[in-house]
Amino acid sequence: INLDHSIHQLLRDIQVMKSLGISVSTHGLLMYTQKYTILENYNNLKLMLDENQRIRESIPELFAVLMAPHFEKVDEALSPGLTMLKWTSLNIPAFVESVRSALDDLRLLIDKVTGVHH
């Protein structure tokens, strides 16, 4: 999903253009009407990716190789975001929930493994 930080700037630019009475393209107006959904999706995606990174970094090096199949499950859940979804996709919340579920499973496994290890 191509949702970079420039989305925020673009939405602000559209708002300024509208307030100045400058013509905005139909596509821009459509995007602006979906502003809150786009920003919510952006924030949820960012939180999800941050959580993914945090969980992966929390894994003791000793167990990293053993966790490879479980990383693959998370990577499979992330795959639609890399290949099929766009910022206008309606199923972004379901995608985020799917990834979060895979991350929760990975986190539980890590907690069990590290608990046994200590």
Rounded CA gap, 73 and 103, in Å?
Answer: 9
pLDDT at 4: 66
pLDDT of 88 over the 80 cut: no
Query: Tokens standing for 110?
Result: 């890590």
Give pLDDT tens digits for 67-86. Answer: 899 999 999 999 998 888 88
Q: What is the mean pLDDT of residues 17-21?
A: 95
Q: What is the pTM of this model?
A: 0.79
Q: Say which residues have a Cβ less than 8 Å from residue 109's Cβ, sequence separation at least 6.
A: 67, 70
